[in-house]
Every structure is written in structure tokens, then in C-alpha cells.
């Protein structure tokens, strides 16, 4: 199985970037569709809790540009 996975990964990484992006979207979409309903319910509850915290002023969001800068600083 590992050899097959390595082969698939090599082939995927050899694709043009746009095709890699499409493949990544398909893979993530497939994973998301397999999340058990109980986990989805917990995730939604967490999202709603965080949203309420922002709306109530308990916490604040982070600008997308700041998030990108932090990721770039971490991963180059």
C-alpha cells in the first residue's frame, strides 16, 4: 500500500499547479463528506460558540492578511 501511495503522490506532485489545486479540493471534499454526523455537530457548535464570542466582544478576529503573514513567517 505504501508503494502505491508513494507512486500516486509522485504523480500528483508532477501535475501542473492548477491540477494539484483541483485534486486537493477533491481530496478534502471527500474527507469532509466522510466526517461522522456527531463530529459535524460538534464542529458546528464550536463555530457558533466562537462566532458568539466575537459578536459579544469576548474575543476578536484576525485579519486575513495578518494570518497570511504569520503562515509565511512560519513556513517561508
- Please report, in tens digits, the pLDDT of each residue of the chain (76 residues total): 788 999 999 999 999 999 999 999 999 999 999 999 999 999 999 999 999 999 999 999 999 999 999 999 999 8
How is 2-68 classified by DSSP, letter by letter?
HHHHHHHHHHHHTS-HHHHHHHHHHHHHHHHHTS-HHHHHHHHHHHHHHHHHHHTTSS----HHHHH
pTM of the model: 0.58
> Which three cell numbers mark 66?
495578518
Q: What is the DSSP letter of 76?
A: -
Amino acid at each position: 500500500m505504501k508503494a502505491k501511495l508513494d507512486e500516486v503522490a509522485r504523480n500528483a506532485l508532477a501535475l501542473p499547479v492548477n491540477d494539484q489545486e483541483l485534486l486537493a479540493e477533491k481530496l478534502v471534499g471527500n474527507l469532509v463528506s466522510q466526517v461522522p454526523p456527531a463530529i459535524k455537530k460538534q464542529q458546528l457548535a464550536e463555530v457558533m460558540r466562537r462566532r458568539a464570542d466575537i459578536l459579544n466582544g469576548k474575543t476578536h478576529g484576525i485579519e486575513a492578511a495578518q494570518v497570511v503573514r504569520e503562515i509565511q513567517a512560519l513556513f517561508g
